[in-house]
Chain A
Amino acid sequence: MNSPSLLDKPTDGKSWPRRTFLQAAGATAASAALLLAGCSDDPDPVPVDTTLLTLGANDIGLLNYAYLLEQLAAAFYQKVLDSPPADLQPGDLAFLNDLRDHEVIHRETLRFALDTQAIISVTFDFSTLNLSTRAGVLAAAKRLEDTGVAAYNGILRLVSDATHQSTLLKISSVEARHSAFIRDVLTPAAGTFATDVVVNASPLLSVAASLTPAQVITETAPFYLPLRVYTDSLPTA
């Protein structure tokens, strides 16, 4: 399906059809209000930000945030498996398939949980990563897994629904295993499974590093381009 561009004004002088307007923007229902503000009977619609991806508020926002990160992780491993580096070692493809499978399952679980309130399926841009070598793939995997774990740790306490929290907790536990595993693959001789990613934050001791959604989105911003992810609506306390 060709996505209509907002620059393609209708030539009959009528306003842009509302439904097509939303398709072009790739918006969620939550951000529809922003776009509809520019969708009037005026034949010249007000230009709106078509690159903004909003996650929503409360538990839905938090689930969409997790869903976005699982989309990112699944897309990353799928891309690696679609074009694996030539210097992979025996056993690498097996664990890359495992990691990919887990992320796909996480992603589909969250999409099902979100139902009609799920954000779009994002097309990711991995051009800033070097995925042509084993070292490049592992470095990227480590960075993504570390970020994902810190992201979950940043929001788990904020989830209101007990079932949602339990599901995210079970997923986050596996992501922590992924991170430790990749670190073990990268540095088998020296244990880095729980070094710089475990921090003291008085009065907490030896706890997992934690990042806010804003920090995570900043860290991963290149992957969403041209989209920009809006996190201000998420719970913070």
Chain B
Amino acid sequence: MNLFSLLQHLSEADTSASAPRRALLRQLGQAGARSLAAGLPLALGIAAPAQARTNDTVLDAITLLLKLEDLQVAFYSQALAAPTISSASFQADLTLLQTQQQNHASFLRQTLRDAGAAVPTLPTFDFSGQRGNAANPVLFPNVFTDVNSFLQLAQQLEDASAAIYKGQAPFLAGNRLLLDGVLRMHSVEARHAAHLRTLRRTISNARVKSWPSRADAAVSAAIQVPTQPATNPASTTSIYTAEANEVQIMSGSRLVPYATLLTGDKTVQSNALAEAFDEALTTSQATALLNIFG
């Protein structure tokens, strides 16, 4: 039996995205175009009150993802310019991460340009959480002067990045080529997130798995996003609150009965169900997160 090597396949020309760039964007410029996946809130395992639904366009989604990628580029760039972080053993990883985030940002920015859409001004990102104002509290101390603090924030940003991509994917449903590109960028973000968690284990001796788990030790400086569904009065919560979800609902509003399915030889560990699925962050949560830093 001749076993083809996976790398041989990977090196072959990828024909799935060979269409001209403009073909990717045909819906981007449509004024008022709506692309809402009605099933999304249920699939996330959260209730769907009216305020959790948004009417984001493809343009909104790409613009938000661009800001997310610009934030990550800035994060790694500032890290590589900081003596303490850039001299750490994982410097090569930071360079790789920065390059890939830059490539993602470049693609998203070019997507907007090609569609004739407004390309937002690049913000100045402040990863202390002070938003450039010394009067504001420092939410994330010593991010670029202490390796452990850096890695904590890096892990959260990469985990959040994967979750934000998931939250935006349904708004691209009408454009398969663009969706393909965005989802394949998402897949890379998930790899980044897993690796940052490996670094936290090996460098910081943190008790975390490579996937968000209820067994993870809590971070000392947590990114807080609006609670979903929204509460009255409004409240914030960790980006990991959604990851503890154990409810999965299939098409047709069919709740997966894990308690009866995962028995006998299908019994799993108590944290496995929440670990097995990476959850999404909503547009509201994503916007709030991005606004913390820029």
Contact = CB atoms under 8 A, between A and B. Distances in A.
Partners in one complex: yes
Interface stretch (B76-84, B116-124, B221-229, B265-273): B265-273
Interface string A150-174: 1011101110011111110111111
Given A98-B272, A205-B106, A222-B1, A174 B254 contact: no
B194 A146 contact: no
A161 B252 CA distance: 10
A153 B38 contact: no
B150 to A, nearest CB: 16
A162 B43 contact: yes
Interface string B34-49: 0001111011100000
Contacts of A203: 17, 21, 24, 107, 110, 181
Given A173-B162, A191-B92, A204-B181, A162 B6 contact: no
Contact of B194 (A108, A181, A202): A181
Nearest to A161: B251
Contact of A163 (B1, B39, B90, B107): B39
Q: Which of the listed residues B38, B176, B261, B273 has the most CB atoms from chain A within 10 Å of its own CB?
A: B261
Contacts of B179: 156-157
Contact of B191 (A162, A170, A197): A197
B253 to A, nearest CB: 9
B255 to A, nearest CB: 9
A212 B278 CA distance: 24
A135 B169 CA distance: 37
B92 A193 contact: no
Interface residues of A, number: 72
A184 interface: yes
A48 interface: no
Given A174-B211, A205-B103, A194 B39 contact: no
Nearest to A74: B266
A180 B190 contact: yes
Contacts of A211: 6, 9-10
Given A112-B257, A112-B261, A149 B250 contact: no
Nearest to B192: A194
Interface residues of B, number: 80
Interface in B270-284: 272-273, 275-280
Contacts of B185: 204, 206-208
Interface in A42-93: none
B275 A149 contact: no
A62 to B, nearest CB: 12
B272 A198 contact: no
Contact of B100 (A104, A194, A202, A237): A194
A208 B272 contact: no
21 contacts: A98-B209, A109-B248, A113-B256, A153-B187, A157-B183, A164-B251, A165-B37, A166-B37, A174-B277, A176-B188, A176-B190, A177-B210, A179-B191, A184-B195, A197-B10, A197-B191, A204-B185, A207-B188, A208-B185, A222-B1, A222-B3
Given A98-B272, A204-B185, A207-B185, 9 more contacts: A98-B269, A112-B261, A157-B179, A157-B183, A163-B40, A166-B39, A180-B210, A204-B181, A211-B6
Interface of B: 1, 3-4, 6-7, 9-10, 14, 16-18, 21, 24, 37-40, 42-44, 90, 92-93, 96-97, 99-100, 103-104, 106-107, 110, 162, 166, 169-170, 173, 176-177, 179-181, 183-188, 190-195, 198, 202, 209-211, 248-251, 254, 256-258, 261-262, 266, 268-269, 272-273, 275-280
